[in-house]
A and B are shown apart, each in its own frame.
Chain A
Amino acid sequence: GAVVSQHPSWVICKSGTSVKIECRSLDFQATTMFWYRQFPKQSLMLMATSNEGSKATYEQGVEKDKFLINHASLTLSTLTVTSAHPEDSSFYICSALWARRGRTGELFFGEGSRLTVL
């Protein structure tokens, strides 16, 4: 299957700093990637849809100035948590849509990035 890589897998930062998380599709091109947040023992909540070459689409209640998404190439989307606070501590997971001609697109997930804000 296709591989999606997230980096870093875990990060600890001080309150007020910004943290960037990368999501890369390693062996396919993804015009669309998705960012999810997961709190402990809870489900995944979609934060935003990242579209290559255009602005991300944010879900209701997600602050776009807080969670900056950039999808500058067909294999890379980044999520930057700006001015992080302890309540931003969470597990962030990306997925990439592999859309092949004549076939239904498939989603592949990264391994997630655990953010801890002190």
Chain B
Amino acid sequence: SQQGEEDPQALSIQEGENATMNCSYKTSINNLQWYRQNSGRGLVHLILIRSNEREKHSGRLRVTLDTSKKSSSLLITASRAADTASYFCATGGFGNEKLTFGTGTRLTIIP
């Protein structure tokens, strides 16, 4: 079963614009992670935010976490064509905790 629901399901923007994706989850968490998947490829870990953190940055990525609303957002600034991919939030994944993925957002950057 999915832990997270993401919206939008698909997003197309012009190169250079910012892209925002949202993730909502159901149960309490210790951390939340974001992954990228290029078409037909494996997953690349982007960023992890812990439950006691509200915001985290990594390069052009900005992740926020609101545990009261059980939601997270991923912002990609100054998008590039190479950012075209599917993005998934995921919870768990440490120790023996299963990693459970959200439904994903398909991002298309239009050159």
Q: Which A residues lie at the B interface, using CB under 8 A?
A: 4, 6, 32, 34, 41-46, 49, 91, 93, 95, 104-107, 109-112, 114
Determine if B98 and A34 form an interchain contact, defined as CB atoms under 8 angstroms apart: yes
Which of B40, B88, B93 lies in contact with A91, CB distance below 8 A? B40
Given the interface contacts A32-B96, A34-B99, does A44 sit within 8 Å of B88 by beta carbon?
A: yes
Q: Is B42 an interface residue (CB 8 A)?
A: yes
Name which residue of chain A comes closest to B90, CB basis.
A44
Which of B42, B44, B94, B101 lies in contact with A105, CB distance below 8 A? B94
A86 to B101, CA, bound (A): 25
A92 to B79, CA, bound (A): 29
Determine if A110 and B42 form an interchain contact, defined as CB atoms under 8 angstroms apart: yes
What string of 1s and 0s marks CB contacts (under 8 Å) between B94-105 and chain A?
Answer: 111011111110
Determine if B98 and A46 form an interchain contact, defined as CB atoms under 8 angstroms apart: yes
Q: Which B residues lie at the A interface, using CB under 8 A?
A: 2, 40-45, 88, 93-96, 98-104, 106
A41 to B105, CA, bound (A): 9
What residues of chain B lie closer than 8 Å to A107, measured between beta carbons? 45, 93, 99
A110 to B103, CA, bound (A): 20
Most buried by B among A6, A44, A95, A109: A44
Determine if B99 and A112 form an interchain contact, defined as CB atoms under 8 angstroms apart: no
Most buried by A among B2, B40, B42, B93: B42
Which of A41, A46, A109 lies in contact with B100, CB distance below 8 A? A46
Determine if A93 and B101 form an interchain contact, defined as CB atoms under 8 angstroms apart: no
Most buried by B among A32, A49, A109: A109
A42 to B2, CA, bound (A): 11
| Minimum Cβ distance to chain A for residue B14 (Å) | 23
Given the interface contacts A32-B96, A43-B104, A44-B88, does A112 sit within 8 Å of B40 by beta carbon?
A: yes
Given the interface contacts A32-B96, A105-B95, A107-B93, does A44 sit within 8 Å of B101 by beta carbon?
A: yes
Determine if A112 and B42 form an interchain contact, defined as CB atoms under 8 angstroms apart: yes
Which of B42, B94, B103 lies in contact with A109, CB distance below 8 A? B42
What residues of chain A lie closer than 8 Å to B106, measured between beta carbons? 41
Top 10 A-B residue pairs of the complex, sorted by shortest distance between their CB atoms: A111-B42, A109-B43, A109-B42, A44-B101, A43-B101, A43-B104, A112-B42, A43-B103, A107-B93, A110-B42
